[in-house]
């Protein structure tokens, strides 16, 4: 049973502070009333500790998906929400997820809605998961929304696994290439230094590639640690800036401008938007509320802002397709489908179908991009080694040409 810390007033108006044990905050309030105390502040002492623990561990998408699937099964079989949480807490072996489920149970027991309780753990549940659960809560299809979320997380985990698996070999190539370059700079280049010094002493001139290589070696030897320190500092500073609101907006805007990758990220955000909006409309949620919820599911603040602006125009009587098209962010083919669907009154169906189509196309694009990374890394590694060797041998070739 959790412990609660409280501040309350007695009958004469004096502040009384203390601790008590209760199953929920509501029971803590009732206990204070029985003591003839008027509660001013009641806080769960363990909740702050739970949030600290959340930073020390990571819950996999696969585990979250299976937990949400079990949650949906329990609710469909008539188990109450609080009892379902209790069952999940007993079954879970992951300590971080157990703490999260315990906190979800306590929040719901205190009167919070399920989607609000999930939103309090945004470091465990992503925006799309929270948005779909919020949609299910408001549209009275919670079990279905939990299953949809679980399916999405499983697909996401499968895609991550493929990407990680495909990136292992290119990553090894990159590490090996950089290691070879550093070894050549530190041990191979010094063997030619006397020759280069003699060339300069005789009035000769070194090629630009050789001079740049010598500069890189000097920098690595004399300032390498400083460079690493500066890079680490910049990385920490950039991460701090990206955590701010304007940093996230800037990052989301720049992501969409990356060649090849930007199109994939945009399509991912659009597919999320289409799927959540279509699901909400399919279950009878009003379009303005559906747009508000689906805007938070995109995972990209640029698209989210565009959807919110579209909602403002829809509230004034415009069709959905016109303000969305005016943003210039939604791909034309998707806009064409939405426009036709509005005229035929099949918007919810078309949006879900559009999400399926976009996800299939995205999967093919990702597969192609991953396949291209491996030869690119091979070329990069070969290029680095070739640059070093040519920079070392070019002065010798120039001298041989001058002697002839």
- Tens-digit pLDDT string for the chain (404 aa): 456 677 777 776 677 777 777 766 667 777 777 777 767 666 665 554 444 444 445 778 888 888 888 888 998 888 888 898 989 998 888 888 888 898 888 888 877 888 888 888 878 887 778 877 887 777 677 888 788 788 878 877 777 777 777 778 778 888 888 888 888 888 887 887 787 777 777 777 778 888 888 888 888 888 878 888 998 999 888 878 776 777 777 887 887 788 877 888 888 888 888 887 887 777 777 777 777 777 777 777 777 877 777 777 777 666 777 777 776 777 787 788 778 777 777 777 888 888 888 888 888 887 787 778 878 888 888 888 888 888 887 777 766 555 55
- Domain extent for 61: 54-154
Beta bridge partners of 278: none
Judge residue 206's burial from the number of C-beta atoms within 10 Å of its C-beta, 0-12 exposed, 13-18 middle, 19 or more buried.
middle
Number of folded domains in the chain? 3
214, 250: one domain: yes
H or E stretch including 368? helix 347-403
Q: Which residue has the tokens 């099964």?
A: 73
End-to-end CA, the chain? 92
210, 310: one domain: yes
167, 137: one domain: no
The CATH number that applies at residue 58 is 1.20.81.30
353, 324: one domain: yes
What torsion, rounded to 10 degrees, do the Cα atoms 349, 351, 352, 358 define? 140
DSSP 8-state assignment for residue 44: E
181, 302: one domain: yes
Domain boundary among 122, 154, 186: 154
128, 195: one domain: no
Residue 278 CA to residue 275 CA, distance in Å, equals 5
137, 220: one domain: no
């Amino acid at each position: 049973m959790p412990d609660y810390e409280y501040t309350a007033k007695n009958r004469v108006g004096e502040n009384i502070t203390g601790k008590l044990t209760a199953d929920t905050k509501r029971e803590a309030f009732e206990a204070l009333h029985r003591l003839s105390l008027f509660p001013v502040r009641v806080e769960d002492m363990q909740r702050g500790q739970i949030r600290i623990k959340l930073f020390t561990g990571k819950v996999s998408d696969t585990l979250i998906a299976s937990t949400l699937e079990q949650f949906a099964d329990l609710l469909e079989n008539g188990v109450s929400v609080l009892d379902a949480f209790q069952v999940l807490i007993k079954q879970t072996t992951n300590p971080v997820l157990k703490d999260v489920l315990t906190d979800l149970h306590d929040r719901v027991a205190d009167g919070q809605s399920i989607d609000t309780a999930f939103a309090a753990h945004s470091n465990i549940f992503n925006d799309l998961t929270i948005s779909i659960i919020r949609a299910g809560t408001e549209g009275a299809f919670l079990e279905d929304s939990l299953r949809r979320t679980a399916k999405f997380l499983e697909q996401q985990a499968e895609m991550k696994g493929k990407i990680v698996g495909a990136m292992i070999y290119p990553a090894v190539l990159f590490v090996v290439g950089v290691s070879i370059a550093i070894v050549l700079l530190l041990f191979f280049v010094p063997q030619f230094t006397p020759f280069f010094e003699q060339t300069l002493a005789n009035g000769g001139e070194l090629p630009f590639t050789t001079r740049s290589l010598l500069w890189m070696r000097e920098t690595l030897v004399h300032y390498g640690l400083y460079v690493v320190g500066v890079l680490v500092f910049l990385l920490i500073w950039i991460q701090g800036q990206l955590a701010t609101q304007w940093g996230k907006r800037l990052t989301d805007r720049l992501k969409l401008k990356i060649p090849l990758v930007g199109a994939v990220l945009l399509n991912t955000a659009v597919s999320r938007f289409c799927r959540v909006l279509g699901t909400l409309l399919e279950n009878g949620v009003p379009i303005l509320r559906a747009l508000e919820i689906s805007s938070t599911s995109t995972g990209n603040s640029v698209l989210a802002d565009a959807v919110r602006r579209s909602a403002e125009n829809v509230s004034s009587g415009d069709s959905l397709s016109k303000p969305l098209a005016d943003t210039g962010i939604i791909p034309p083919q998707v806009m064409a489908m939405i426009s036709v669907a509005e005229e035929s009154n099949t918007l919810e169906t078309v949006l879900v179908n559009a999400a399926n189509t976009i996800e299939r196309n995205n999967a093919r694009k990702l597969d192609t991009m991953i396949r291209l990374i491996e030869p690119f890394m091979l070329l990069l590694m070969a290029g680095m080694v070739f640059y070093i060797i040519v920079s070392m041998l070019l002065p010798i070739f120039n001298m041989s040409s001058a002697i002839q």
